[in-house]
Amino acid sequence: MMKSMQKIAAMLLCVLTLCSCKDDGTPTLDSPTFPFMKVGNQWNYWLVTEEGQTEVSYKIADKTKESYFKVLLQFVEAEFPPVEHFWYADQTSFAMATDWPDSPLKLPMLKKGCKVGDRWSFDVPASPDPDDLSGTLTYEIMAVNTSVDAAGTTYSDVYKIRHTATSHAEFYADYYISLSAGMIKMEGIGYVWIDGDEGGELIYFPLEWRLKSKNF
């Protein structure tokens, strides 16, 4: 079960093979738009599937001068070392999928001042790996400044963002991002590729990340 959950988590939140995209924002001296993006911040989650649950954590380990943040994904019960990811945050946008340090490409999922119905789409080339999302990847704002309960706290500054990909028709991930606390929940339909005698198939299933605790 642990191996399958590790593959599921990596599939959903790993660094994608990204398309070319551009950030037109200009940094300012205002208060941070995404104040949860600070070195040392850590989130602990329950990763829940039909098979059960396991604990995972994200910790911001470092920041570059270009506003990319090294984030370590750790499976708490696993023996292998944390997996490195790079997120992005400046005064105008936040992205959990980037191509850093290979390139400055990123897929923003949340932008300053966004409203319900705003969406950003990116074209990602097809990959020979059936686990990779490709085609048109979209992030759409479904709700703004909504209230969500997580880990014993009510957050009222939450944006609900739906992520979809044309390569995997049944897949979606609804991210609940608090401007003060970061990702407090994710729920949707995940997938895993199962090899078989006839070439294999995609299996879809319900998936959820529940905030257990954070250190800030």
pLDDT for the residue numbered 30 = 66
Q: Are 189 and 170 in contact (CB under 8 A)?
A: yes
According to DSSP, residue 18 is labeled: -
Q: Residue-wise over 22-55: b if at least 16 C-beta within 10 A, else e?
A: ebeeeeeeeeebbebbeeebbbbbebbbeeeebe
Digit-by-digit pLDDT tens for the chain (216 residues) are 444 444 554 444 443 333 333 344 444 446 899 999 999 999 999 999 999 999 999 999 999 999 999 999 999 988 889 999 999 999 999 999 999 999 999 999 999 999 999 999 999 999 888 889 999 999 999 999 999 999 999 999 999 999 999 999 999 999 999 999 999 999 999 999 998 777 788 999 999 999 999 999
pLDDT for 79 equals 87
**Interatomic CA distance for residues 205 and 12, integer angstroms:** 13
Predicted local confidence at residue 130, as pLDDT: 85
pLDDT value for 103: 96
pLDDT value at position 45?
Answer: 98
